[in-house]
Each structure stands twice: as structure tokens, then as C-alpha cells.
Amino acid sequence: MGNNTSKSELILEDGSKFYGYSFGSKKSASGEVVFNTGMVGYPESLTDASYYGQILVLTYPLIGNYGVPGYEKEDNILKYFESDKIQVKGLIITDYSDNYSHWNAKKSLSEWLKEHNIPGMYGVDTRELTKKLRKKGTMLGKVTNDNKKISFEDPNKRNLMNEVSIKEPIIYKKGKKRIILVDCGTKNNIIRAFLRRGFTVIRVTWDYDFLNEKADGIIISNGPGDPKKCSKTIKNVKEALSKKTPILGICLGSQILALATGADTYKLKYGHRGHNQPCIETGTKRCYITSQNHGYAVDAETLPEDWREWFYNNNDGTNEGIIHISKPFFGTQFHPEASPGPDDTEFLFDMFVRSIK
């Protein structure tokens, strides 16, 4: 555990309080409090834009022991992070390891949080906190460090995709085949996965009108918040569905794809965030262990006749993927690109590639 003795407090909207010690930045922050059950992968998780606006609780007790990697780039993308900055509003853990050891580490977790002005809090009973969030559902909360009075802030009331998406298109050149990546808060590993497969990736803003772009495939990325706030993307995808260009939606992208078909989405009680979510492929007995990070889900009952449920969650039965019965349109609620977590389902990218003529 770190040697910091500065007290810190987490206050939830139901009035409950959790006490601990401060590490990282000393500022106060508010957001939606969510939990992740993964045992590793905090550098990837903290830079995943799907967590934007949220205070992240890590259930695994030992955090910080392998430090944080450096900012090396490959193909003009950071090698070890999922975006260019820490996306969470705050981090809540049980035991912080100030002494880190890893061949790739360049700094401590606390130093990295300070660098990005993000407050951390350790010494918290994250088991009790997680049980409360599972029972009552995701709640708003605030981490207070500096006696500054801040109010609760619900990030889901804003269009978060507009805040995390790039502002101008970026082209990552590789092969002759071109994929449009609609950036709603994309993870870098989605880009890496298609560069490895020899595709040129054209990364565009969340509201970019890509319908007249020359593309062999379209990917709608993951991202934060309520998919219904993404109205411009939904409109563009709806028009794209009248054509034959293959479309793949990932996480938020799967929800946007569903909304474009006329189906509905809803908010989960506490979401799925971790690396061991079991998903069954519909019509089979095959179960995949998947990496997930989402607070909303598709209502499979509302899918139109030419769509079917592709995967469902074996824990709670919620939708984990949709597929068109005849056209090359796919959506996965989990993350085939993993990072962090198992890459058992990356073969879905190869399936999407095969649908590209």
C-alpha cells in the first residue's frame, strides 16, 4: 500500500460514504460510479473512452504492482494504451502498490494519474461498494479531496461521443482495401487489428457523413454513454443499411446498429465490465469468454424480422450481438479486440474481413 496519508472520501447519491486515502491527483471529481471485475489491464481500461465520465471501481484488490508503460508508438498509434489520455473521472481501489515491477514499466500508477490530473483513492472496501452497486444499480458519486464542494454530475445526459471522438479524420495507410472507422470513442486496438490485416483505416468523427466515401467496409466503434444521443450516427448507419457495404458495430456500435434498424436499447442495472463475461452463440452450445465494458444493451425482442440475435449473455440472458439474415451486417456487444482481456473472439474480425469482396 502507498505511504500517502491524505484522507479521501467517496460520496454516493444515496448518501452513503466510503473513506480511504488519496493517490494520484488531489482534485475532486464527480461522475457515474461503475465497477470492473478484471484482474489485470488497468492501463488499457483507464484509457478506454467507454469509461469517459465514470468513476471506476476495480474489484481486484492488488492494483499498481506492474506500473504503467511508456508512450511508444507504432503506426502512429500508442502501443500500450487505448486512447491518448486517461478517460475515467476517478479510480477507486482496495490496495495500491507504490512499488511496481515490470519490464515495460516507465512510471507508477500514481505518477500517471497525476500527469493526467485524475484522482485515485485506495483503502476502500471495494467488495462492499460493488455489492451496493449490484443491489441498487449504478449510481452517481463524487470523490472529494480538497474540501471543494462539487455537485453530482450525470454524464449520460450529455452527448459523450461528441466529447471523445476525434475532431478531424485521420488516415492510417496500409493496403488497398479501405475501412471507414466511425469514431464514437474507439479503442486503439480496433485500429491495430485491421492494420495487422493489411487494411487502410480511415478514422472519421462520430457524426461524419461517410455515405459517399469509397470504402470496402464500415466499422462503428465502441464509446461512452447512451447510444440514443448518437442521432447523427444512427441516421448515417440507417442509410448505409440500404447498401451492400459490410458493416460491423462494436459495443456502442452494436447498439447504434440496432437503433438504425428500428430496434430499441435500454440501460442495464449495473452493466457488464470485465474480462470474463460468458456469451453463447445463439443456436449452438458454444460459449465464448469475452471482454466487455458497457452500461446499455439492445432489446433483442424489438429487432426487425430480417435480423436475429447472434449472441446472448449466459449470466443474465441480455443481448450480446446481432446479425442480418442475408446481408453482411454484424454487431457484437463484447470486444473482439480485447485489450485488456481474452482475444478468443478476434476471429469475428476475420469473419468481417471475409465478407468484404
Active site residues: 251, 335, 337
What are the residues whose beta carbons fall under 8 Å from the beta carbon of 344, sequence distance 6 or more? 288, 289, 290
Q: Are 68 and 97 in contact (CB under 8 A)?
A: no
Kindly give the pairing relationship between strand 319-324 and strand 329-332. Answer: antiparallel
Nearest to 67 by CA among 113, 123, 127: 113
List Cα–Cα distances, 20 to 117, 138, 298, 331, in angstroms. Answer: 19, 20, 37, 40
**Does the bond joining 304 to the residue before it have cis omega, within 30 degrees of 0?**
no
| 272/257 Cα distance (integer angstroms) | 19
Quote helix, strand, coil % in the chain, to nearest 5: 20, 35, 45
What are the residues whose beta carbons fall under 8 Å from the beta carbon of 119, sequence distance 6 or more? 8, 22, 24, 25, 26, 27, 28, 29, 90, 91, 113, 143, 145
Three-state SS for 101-117 is: CCCCEEECHHHHHHHCC
Q: Are 53 and 31 in contact (CB under 8 A)?
A: yes
The DSSP line for 293-338 is: EEEEEEEGGG--TTEEEEEEETTT--EEEEEESSSSEEEESS-TT-
Q: Alpha helices, DSSP H only, in 166-230? A: 188-196
Half-sphere exposure of 90 (CA within 13 A, CB side): 28
Nearest to 21 by CA among 10, 37, 8, 39: 8
- Residue 68 corresponds to which cell in the numbers above? 504503467
What are the residues whose beta carbons fall under 8 Å from the beta carbon of 231, sequence distance 6 or more? none
